[in-house]
């Protein structure tokens, strides 16, 4: 028996928790977790419960819940975890974040998740072959139609989400708008202080004391999307550039995996350009 979850937000007002709790109680639903908070006059919550097959699918739940949405003028997202979720992955030369996601799926830390494809602008299908995942090499250099080919693959497989596992190419606004699903990115947090091809060398020269990574939803404005997850690792005196790169890779894969996990567990709500994240 799998769980199900409900995310709901509306203008903060009396009676919201009571109405939702009674709705579930009347259908013999036992709540497992309930997280809630209010900020700037808006109420947010996430409720998870054991799915007793009360509803055929998410659409049936939304129809049943419609009365409460109308009463509070609320916004709802619901997900039944018995359904397999698909995550398309884009990557380039560096494999650390890609391997971290695949390892967590293989060990069951990301259950009921399937990778329908890996797209790369670097011609190496070693990892995809090992995991029996369809691989598509689409070069981006001197290839003006590469995004069109990528979109064709996305439209064929229709993933629930796309993850950019250190995919080293800027996405156009047209690509983002045509993708049809949320896109999650990861990058080091030297930006915007150390931009260009050699950020670690520049950071080393300036004596950086913290190395960070940021994972966020992708929007047309470069690296300005709602942030999902961030973390840092301290740099000690005497660390070489190669040591800093290793620390950066470890931080990136940890942050990216945590962000993907929260998205797949439906623990995020995008509101006014920022991400509300439930634990």
Which residues are catalytic, by number? 223
Q: What tokens does 31 get?
A: 């709540």
Taking the C-alpha atoms of residue 259 and residue 214, their distance in angstroms, rounded to an integer, is: 9
Q: What are phi and psi of 90, to 5 degrees?
A: -110, 140
For β-strands 183-188 and 161-165, DSSP reports them as: parallel
Q: C-alpha angle with apex 89: 86 to 90, nearest 5 degrees?
A: 155
Q: What tokens does 109 get?
A: 């830390």
Q: Which of 117, 122, 131 is nearest to 92 (CA)?
A: 122
Q: Which residues touch 213 (CB under 8 Å, ≥6 apart)?
A: 186, 187, 188, 189, 230, 231, 248, 251, 252, 254, 255, 256
Beta strands in the chain (DSSP E): 3-11, 31-39, 42-50, 75-80, 85-91, 113-114, 118-120, 135-137, 161-165, 183-188, 210-217, 227-234, 268-271, 274-277
- The per-residue b/e assignment along 202-219, b for 16 or more CB within 10 angstroms, e otherwise, is bbbeeebeebbbbbbbbb
Helices (H), 40-194: 58-72, 96-106, 126-130, 146-157, 173-179
């Amino acid at each position: 028996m799998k769980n199900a979850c409900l995310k709901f937000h509306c203008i903060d007002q009396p009676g919201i928790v009571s109405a939702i709790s009674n709705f579930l109680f009347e259908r013999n639903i036992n709540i497992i977790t309930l997280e809630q908070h209010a900020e700037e006059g808006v109420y947010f919550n996430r409720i998870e419960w054991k799915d007793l097959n009360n509803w055929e699918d998410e659409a049936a739940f939304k129809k049943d819940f419609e009365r409460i949405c109308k009463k509070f003028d609320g916004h709802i997202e619901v997900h039944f975890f018995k359904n397999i979720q698909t995550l398309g992955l884009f990557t380039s030369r560096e494999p650390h974040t890609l391997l971290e996601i695949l390892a967590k799926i293989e060990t069951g830390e990301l259950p009921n998740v399937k990778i329908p494809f890996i797209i790369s602008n670097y011609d190496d299908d070693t990892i995809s072959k090992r995991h029996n995942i369809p691989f598509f090499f689409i070069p981006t250099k001197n290839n003006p139609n590469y995004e069109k080919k990528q979109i064709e693959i996305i439209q064929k497989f229709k993933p629930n989400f796309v993850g950019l596992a250190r995919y080293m190419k800027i996405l156009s606004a047209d690509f983002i708008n045509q993708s049809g699903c949320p896109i999650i990115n990861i990058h080091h947090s030297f930006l915007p202080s150390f931009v260009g091809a050699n950020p670690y060398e520049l950071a080393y020269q300036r004596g950086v004391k913290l190395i960070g990574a940021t994972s966020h939803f992708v929007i047309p404005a470069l690296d300005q999307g709602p942030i999902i997850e961030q973390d840092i690792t301290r740099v000690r005196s005497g660390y070489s550039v190669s040591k800093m790169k290793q620390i950066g890779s470890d931080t990136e894969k940890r942050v990216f995996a945590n962000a993907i996990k929260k998205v797949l567990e439906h623990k995020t709500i995008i509101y006014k350009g920022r991400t509300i994240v439930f634990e």
